Amino acid sequence: MNYDVNDPDRQEAEDGRLPSYTALRFHNMLYVEYETGEISCYDVQKDPYELKYGINPFRQDEEKLHAILLAAKNCGDKNGCWGGK
């Protein structure tokens, strides 16, 4: 993944904090992709404090979630994410 090095929320791995990430939050889930390639996915209805993320409960949707995340991340043109062409 190519993350913006000027992102004010970017965190470097060597400082002991989590690496930079991109995330999607829905009413029932949180999907996170870290720049290291790690993926975390939480069922926020069953785990509202986001403490358990072993097996991705949405694994069958992972490719679709990745595509949505990339589209949202790269949507900053002059019309915004939902502008017409």
Whole-number pLDDT of residue 42: 86
- Predicted local confidence at residue 85, as pLDDT: 47
Q: What angle do CA 59, 55, 7 make, to 5 degrees?
A: 75
Tens of pLDDT, residue by residue over 11-56, are: 555 555 656 888 888 888 888 888 888 888 888 888 888 887 655 6
Tokens of 80: 């915004």
Query: Which pair of structure tokens corresponds to residue 18?
Result: 């989590």
**pLDDT, tens digit, 9 for 90 and up, residues 52-73:** 765 566 677 888 888 988 888 7
Structural contact between residues 19 and 11, judged by C-beta atoms closer than 8 angstroms: yes
Task: Print burial letters for 54-85: b (CB count within 10 Å at least 16), e (below 16).
Answer: eebbeeeeeeebbeebeeebeeeeeeeeeeee
* Predicted TM-score (pTM) above 0.75: no
